[in-house]
C-alpha cells in the first residue's frame, strides 16, 4: 500500500479495533503540521511509554515546539503503541508512524528518545523494531535514522550503549540545536554516519558510546572507560543553561483529545534543587538552581492559557515551595485568573516551608488534595537521608490544612533506605496515625466531614550521581516483609489507605540504574522474550527477565545487591554532571553518621557545580 492508502487504512479500519484510538489520531489543537517542501531535518520525538504518560511530560512540550520553530526542521511525536495497537500493526504490516504526518518513522533523520524511567528501555527496542529498524546501532546502515537520547536516565547511558547512536547530556535547548546545525552541514556534504558522529562528539554534552572502550577487572568491576580516538573527550560534561530567564518556553502547548496524566498548563518556575537529599538523583544532576522571574512566568501563563483553553495551572519544579518569590507569583496569578475560575496546583511542597496563607490563596478557586513527602518514618533516618524536616513540621502543616477545610492528604515514603530498621518502618505508620489524630483535634465546625490519608511507600533504588550510589538495594524478600508489616500496622484505620511499589520491578530498576554495558545484552534478550511496558504491573514478566539474565550469563545481584567500594570505577564515571565524586563521598560518609548538610542557598557546600562553567553558575 502507498502512504495515502496506509493512512486511510489506519483511520478507517485499524483505529476502530483498538482501545483509545485518540492515542493515535494526531491533529490535536496546537499540534504542528508542515509541508515537507523546504524541510531539511525530520525529527521523531519518541516517548517510550503510552500517549497519556508521554503527553504529560514538560520537556517534550518544550523541545517539540522549539524544534518546530526552525523553518527547516519538522519535529513529530511518537509514543509506544499499547499492546492492542501493536498487535493490529504487526498483523497488518503497518510500520510505526508519527502522529503529525502519519509518515513512517524509519524515513526520518532522527529518532529521539527521552529517558525518564529505566523500566521503559524494552519499549525503546520495541519502537525501533516496529519502525522496521535494527535495535543495535552497529546494524543500522547509511540512510537510516540516527537514534539520539537524553533525559535523567541518560546520565548512566551504558545499558543502552549498543542501541543509541549518541546521547545528549544535560539541558537540551542549546545542545539539541547545535547537533542539528552539525547535521545540516554533514547532510549537505554527503558524508558517512561515522563522520557525523565524529563531528557531533566534538560538541560539549554529546556522548557517542561506540567511540569508547570499556575494560573490566577479573572481579567484573570496571577497570577503565577510555575513548578510542584522541579528539574524543575522556569525560563528557553536561550542558547547563546558565540563565533560565528568557530561555525558550513555548507560547502554546498541544491539547489532547483524551485525558492524560497531567492535563493542565505547567509553568516551569525554576530548575535544580539545593536541599541535597542523599537518595535523590534529580536534586544532584539538575543543579544549579536557576529561577524564572515572576513577570516572565505571568506572561507565559497568559499565553498558554489563551492558546490552550486550560483552566488549571501547575507550578513545576523539584521543590515548588523553595521558589524565592512564590507568594508573589501565586498572588498575581490568582488575582488575575480567579474570576475566570482558573485553578492552581502546587506539587512538591515541603513540610518545613508550608504556608497557610499560600494554601488559602490557592484554594479560592478549587480545593484539591495536598501531598507531603516525609520520606522516612523516624527522625534518625530522615537525618541519614538529609531530608531536613521533622515530625513537628509535618503535624503543623497538616493541622493548618485541616483547619482550612482540607480533607485529603497524601504522604510519600520510601522503604529499604540505607541503615533502615523495622523501627523506622513502624515510624511510617506512627506518622500516619499522628496525622489522622491531628484531624480529629480540629473542631467539627471547622474541619471537613470526611478525611482521607493516603500513604504510599516506594522501594529505595540506589541511583548514579547520588551519595547512595555505593549502597546495595534492600532484597526483595526484605521489602515484601516490610510492606506486609506496614500494611498490617495501617489496616486498623479505614481513613488510611496504603499503596506500594512492586519490589521486583524496583529490583530491575536498580540493576539498570547502576548497570554497565553487559546489561544491554540482557535487555535485548528480555525484549526478544516479550518483555515490554515493564513499568506496568499487568505486563511485567519477572520470570522472563530472570531467564534472560541466566541465558546471558549475567548475575543480576552483582548490580542490585552489591555494596560498591568508594574507589570503584563506576560505569558512569566518564560523565561529568558537575557534582564531584569527592562531594558525593563526603555526603555518603555524613549519612553513615546521620549528619545533616545545610541547604546550599544559605552556604555553599562545595558540590563542584561551580567548576562546571567558567565564572560559576550558582547565584
| Mean pLDDT, residues 481-509 taken together | 94
Cα separation, 340 vs 66, in Å, equals: 29
Cα separation, 369 vs 371, in Å, equals: 7
Residue 122 falls inside a structural domain: yes
Cα separation, 134 vs 154, in Å, equals: 20
pLDDT digits (tens, 9 = 90+) for 77-111: 999 999 999 999 999 999 999 999 999 999 999 99
- Note the pLDDT of residue 612: 78
DSSP character string of 500-558: E--HHHHHHHHHHHT--THHHHHHHHHHHTT---TTSTTT--HHHHHHHHHHHT--THH
Cα separation, 270 vs 431, in Å, equals: 31
Looking at the predicted structure, is the pLDDT value of residue 409 above 60?
Answer: yes
**Strands, E, within 342-448: which ranges?**
343-345, 370-375, 408-415
Q: Which of 100-114, 317-331, 358-372 shows the highest mean pLDDT?
A: 100-114
Q: Domain of 37: which CATH number?
A: 3.40.50.280
Cα separation, 32 vs 44, in Å, equals: 13
> How many degrees, rounded to 5, is the angle at CA 598 between CA 592 and CA 599?
125
Q: Is 316 helix (H, G, I), strand (E, B) or coil?
A: strand
User: 201 falls in which pLDDT band (50, 70, 90)?
Assistant: very high
Q: Name 314's bridge partners.
A: 266, 345
User: 617 falls in which pLDDT band (50, 70, 90)?
Assistant: low
User: 399: exposed, middle or buried (C-beta count within 10 Å: 0-12, 13-18, 19+)?
Assistant: middle
Cα separation, 68 vs 57, in Å, equals: 17
Residue among 545, 535, 542, 541 nearest 48 (CA): 535
Residue 215 falls inside a structural domain: yes
User: 388 falls in which pLDDT band (50, 70, 90)?
Assistant: confident
Contacts of 583 (CB under 8 A, 6+ apart): 605, 606, 607, 608
Looking at the predicted structure, is the pLDDT value of residue 197 above 90?
Answer: yes
How many Cβ atoms from other residues are within 10 Å of residue 306's Cβ?
A: 11
Looking at the predicted structure, is the pLDDT value of residue 277 above 80?
Answer: yes
Cα separation, 517 vs 323, in Å, equals: 39
User: 432 falls in which pLDDT band (50, 70, 90)?
Assistant: very high
Identify the weakest region by mean pLDDT among 3-12, 70-79, 231-240.
3-12
pLDDT digits (tens, 9 = 90+) for 202-221: 999 999 999 999 999 999 99
Cα separation, 334 vs 344, in Å, equals: 8
Looking at the predicted structure, is the pLDDT value of residue 506 above 80?
Answer: yes
User: 26 falls in which pLDDT band (50, 70, 90)?
Assistant: very high
Contacts of 190 (CB under 8 A, 6+ apart): none
Residue among 19, 4, 75 nearest 51 (CA): 19
- Note the pLDDT of residue 618: 74
Cα separation, 358 vs 344, in Å, equals: 11
| Mean pLDDT, residues 39-64 taken together | 97
DSSP character string of 408-439: EEEEEEEES-TT--HHHHHHHHHHHHHHHHHH
- Of the two residues 488 and 603, the one the predictor is more confident about is 488
Q: Name 166's bridge partners.
A: 148
Residue 599 falls inside a structural domain: no
Percentage, residues of the chain above pLDDT 70: 97
Residue 165 falls inside a structural domain: yes
Residue 424 falls inside a structural domain: no
Looking at the predicted structure, is the pLDDT value of residue 368 above 80?
Answer: no
State which H helix or E strand residue 342 sits in: none
Cα separation, 385 vs 414, in Å, equals: 11
**Strands, E, within 94-158: which ranges?**
110-114, 146-150
| Mean pLDDT, residues 139-148 taken together | 97
Domain that holds residue 87: 3-237
Looking at the predicted structure, is the pLDDT value of residue 561 above 90?
Answer: yes
Edge-to-edge strands, sheet with 343-345:
265-268, 312-316, 343-345
Cα separation, 45 vs 154, in Å, equals: 16
Contacts of 422 (CB under 8 A, 6+ apart): 482, 485
For residues 371 and 410, is the Cβ–Cβ distance under 8 A? Answer: yes
User: 449 falls in which pLDDT band (50, 70, 90)?
Assistant: confident
Question: Mean of the per-residue pLDDT values for the chain?
Answer: 93
Residue 129 falls inside a structural domain: yes
Distances in Å between the Cα of 5 and the Cα atoms of 103, 194, 554 are 12, 36, 46
- Of the two residues 19 and 619, the one the predictor is more confident about is 19
- Going 149 to 153 to 154 to 157, the CA torsion angle's sign is negative
| Mean pLDDT, residues 360-364 taken together | 75
- Per the structure, the count of domains in the chain is 1
Residue 307 falls inside a structural domain: no
User: 351 falls in which pLDDT band (50, 70, 90)?
Assistant: confident
- Going 481 to 484 to 487 to 488, the CA torsion angle's sign is negative
| Mean pLDDT, residues 372-399 taken together | 93
Residue 300 falls inside a structural domain: no
Contacts of 302 (CB under 8 A, 6+ apart): none
Looking at the predicted structure, is the pLDDT value of residue 347 above 90?
Answer: no
- Note the pLDDT of residue 2: 59
User: 1 falls in which pLDDT band (50, 70, 90)?
Assistant: low
- Note the pLDDT of residue 348: 67
Cα separation, 271 vs 320, in Å, equals: 10
Amino acid at each position: 500500500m502507498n502512504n495515502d492508502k496506509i493512512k486511510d487504512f489506519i483511520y478507517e479500519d485499524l483505529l476502530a479495533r483498538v482501545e483509545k484510538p485518540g492515542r493515535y489520531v494526531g491533529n490535536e489543537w496546537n499540534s504542528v503540521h508542515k509541508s515537507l517542501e523546504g524541510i531539511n531535518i525530520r525529527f521523531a520525538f519518541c516517548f517510550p511509554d503510552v500517549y497519556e504518560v508521554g503527553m504529560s511530560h514538560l520537556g517534550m512540550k518544550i523541545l517539540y515546539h522549539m524544534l518546530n520553530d526552525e523553518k527547516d526542521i519538522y519535529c513529530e511525536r511518537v509514543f509506544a503503541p499499547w499492546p492492542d495497537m501493536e498487535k493490529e500493526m504487526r498483523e497488518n504490516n503497518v510500520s510505526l508512524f508519527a502522529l503529525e504526518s502519519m509518515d513512517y518513522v524509519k524515513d526520518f533523520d532522527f529518532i529521539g528518545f527521552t529517558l525518564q524511567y529505566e523500566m521503559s528501555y524494552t519499549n525503546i527496542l520495541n519502537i525501533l523494531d516496529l519502525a522496521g529498524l535494527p535495535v543495535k546501532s552497529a546494524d543500522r546502515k547509511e540512510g537510516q535514522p540516527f537514534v539520539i537520547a537524553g533525559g535523567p536516565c541518560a546520565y548512566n547511558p551504558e545499558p543502552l550503549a549498543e542501541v543509541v547512536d549518541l546521547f545528549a547530556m544535560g539541558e537540551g535547548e542549546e545542545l539539541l540545536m547545535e547537533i542539528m546545525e552539525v547535521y545540516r552541514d554533514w547532510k549537505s556534504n554527503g558524508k558517512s554516519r561515522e563522520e557525523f558522529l565524529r563531528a557531533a562528539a566534538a560538541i560539549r554534552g554529546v556522548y557517542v558510546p561506540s567511540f569508547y572502550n570499556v575494560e573490566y577487572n577479573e572481579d567484573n568491576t570496571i577497570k577503565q572507560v577510555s575513548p578510542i580516538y584522541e579528539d574524543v573527550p575522556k569525560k563528557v560534561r553536561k550542558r547547563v543553561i546558565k540563565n533560565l530567564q528568557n530561555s525558550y518556553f513555548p507560547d502554546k502547548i498541544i491539547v489532547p483529545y483524551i485525558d492524560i496524566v497531567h492535563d493542565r498548563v505547567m509553568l516551569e518556575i525554576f530548575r535544580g534543587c539545593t536541599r541535597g537529599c542523599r537518595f535523590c538523583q534529580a536534586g544532584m544532576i539538575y543543579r544549579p538552581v536557576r529561577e524564572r522571574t515572576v513577570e516572565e512566568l505571568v506572561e507565559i501563563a497568559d499565553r498558554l492559557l489563551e492558546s490552550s483553553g486550560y483552566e488549571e495551572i501547575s507550578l513545576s519544579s523539584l521543590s515548588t515551595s523553595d521558589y524565592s518569590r512564590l507568594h508573589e507569583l501565586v498572588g498575581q496569578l490568582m488575582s488575575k485568573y480567579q474570576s475566570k475560575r482558573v485553578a492552581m496546583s502546587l506539587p512538591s511542597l515541603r513540610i518545613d516551608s508550608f504556608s497557610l496563607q499560600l494554601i488559602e490563596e490557592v484554594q479560592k478557586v478549587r480545593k484539591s488534595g495536598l501531598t507531603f513527602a516525609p520520606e522516612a518514618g523516624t527522625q534518625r533516618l530522615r537525618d541519614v537521608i538529609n531530608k531536613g524536616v521533622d515530625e513537628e513540621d509535618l503535624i503543623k502543616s497538616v493541622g493548618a490544612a485541616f483547619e482550612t477545610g482540607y480533607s485529603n492528604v497524601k504522604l510519600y515514603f520510601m522503604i529499604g533506605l540505607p541503615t533502615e530498621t523495622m523501627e523506622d518502618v513502624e515510624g511510617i505508620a506512627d506518622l500516619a496515625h499522628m496525622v489522622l489524630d491531628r484531624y480529629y483535634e480540629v473542631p467539627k465546625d471547622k474541619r471537613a466531614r470526611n478525611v482521607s490519608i493516603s500513604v504510599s511507600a516506594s522501594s529505595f533504588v540506589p541511583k548514579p550521581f547520588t551519595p547512595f550510589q555505593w549502597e546495595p538495594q534492600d532484597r526483595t524478600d526484605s521489602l515484601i516483609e516490610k510492606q506486609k508489616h506496614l500494611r498490617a500496622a495501617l489496616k486498623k484505620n479505614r481513613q488510611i489507605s496504603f499503596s506500594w511499589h512492586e519490589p521486583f520491578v524496583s529490583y530491575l530498576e536498580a540493576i539498570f540504574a547502576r548497570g554497565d554495558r553487559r546489561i544491554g545484552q540482557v535487555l535485548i534478550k528480555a525484549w526478544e522474550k516479550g518483555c515490554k511496558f515493564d513499568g506496568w504491573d499487568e505486563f511485567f514478566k519477572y520470570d522472563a527477565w530472570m531467564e534472560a539474565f541466566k541465558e546471558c550469563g549475567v548475575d543480576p545481584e552483582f548490580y542490585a545487591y552489591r555494596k560498591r567500594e568508594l574507589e570503584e570505577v563506576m560505569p558512569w564515571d566518564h560523565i561529568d554532571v558537575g557534582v564531584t565524586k569527592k562531594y558525593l563521598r563526603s555526603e555518603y560518609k555524613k549519612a553513615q553518621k546521620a549528619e545533616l548538610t545545610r541547604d546550599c542557598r544559605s552556604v555553599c557546600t562545595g558540590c563542584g557545580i561551580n567548576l562546571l562553567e567558567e565564572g560559576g553558575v550558582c547565584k
